[in-house]
């Protein structure tokens, strides 16, 4: 049913950077921040950094062609890559030779733009600045007071 609320949400999805893919909503940042600050931004939008569960989802994100943080880190335990919901990494899309923990200081995963295959992830220092993608079951709609 198309009602005023539905129209309002559709409008916000378009206006505020959210895109729907499958049953999920994705927010593509316009700014660049560290991994932690990016995650904080997602949480303020009642979302979290994106968790990539399938080849289709990987393809969807690759099409955006943006250098962005994903919700994957091994900061807690070197070499144990975990998603932000604590689930371990199963289907991985690392670039060839990655993750390599260069200089012993690369604990956060970024989606690189220059890969010509689906294998596009690289581990880089978490303090670097990149764009980010948040994922949620619902788009965040700011309440107008
Ligand atoms: C950079 C940096 C690393 C990456 C290598 C690959 C020199 O370091 O992006 O994270 O693994 O390039 O050559
Ligand atoms: Ca690396």
Residue identifier of the C-alpha nearest atom 12 of ligand 1: 102
Give the distance (Å) from ligand 1 centre to CA of residue 100. 8
Give the distance (Å) from ligand 2 centre to CA of residue 134. 22
What's this model's pTM, rounded to 2 decimal places? 0.89
- pLDDT exceeds cutoff 70 at 145: no
- Report the alpha-carbon distance of residue 12 to residue 62 in Å, rounded: 23
Give the distance (Å) from ligand 1 centre to CA of residue 133. 21
Q: Are 117 and 80 in contact (CB under 8 A)?
A: no
**Preceding omega of 17 cis (within 30 degrees of 0):** no
- Pocket of ligand 1 contains residue 135 by CB under 6 Å: no
> Which atom of ligand 1 is the closest one to the Cα of 98?
11
Select from 3.30.450.20, 3.30.1330.10, 3.10.310.10, 3.10.100.10 the CATH code of 19-136: 3.10.100.10
- Report the alpha-carbon distance of residue 83 to residue 70 in Å, rounded: 9
Q: Are 118 and 59 in contact (CB under 8 A)?
A: yes
- Pocket of ligand 1 contains residue 102 by CB under 6 Å: yes
3-54 pLDDT, tens per residue? 788 777 776 666 578 899 999 999 999 999 999 999 999 999 999 999 999 9
**pLDDT of 142:** 66
CB-based contacts of 52, cutoff 8 Å, min separation 6: 58, 61, 70, 72, 91, 93
**pLDDT of 7:** 76
State whether the Cα torsion 74-122-85-40 is positive or negative.
positive
């Amino acid at each position: 049913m198309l009602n005023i609320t539905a129209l309002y949400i559709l409008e916000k999805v378009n206006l505020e950077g959210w895109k729907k893919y499958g049953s999920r909503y994705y927010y593509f940042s316009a700014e660049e921040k560290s991994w932690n600050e990016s995650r904080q931004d997602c949480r303020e939008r009642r979302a979290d950094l994106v968790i990539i569960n399938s080849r289709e989802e990987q393809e969807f994100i690759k099409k955006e062609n943006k250098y962005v943080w994903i919700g994957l880190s091994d900061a807690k335990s070197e070499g144990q890559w975990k998603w932000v919901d604590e689930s371990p990494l199963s289907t991985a899309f690392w670039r060839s030779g990655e993750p390599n923990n260069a200089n012993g200081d690369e604990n956060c995963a970024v989606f690189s733009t220059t890969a010509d295959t689906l294998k596009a992830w690289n581990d880089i220092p978490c303090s670097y600045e990149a764009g980010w993608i948040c994922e949620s079951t619902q788009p965040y709609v700011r309440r107008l007071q």
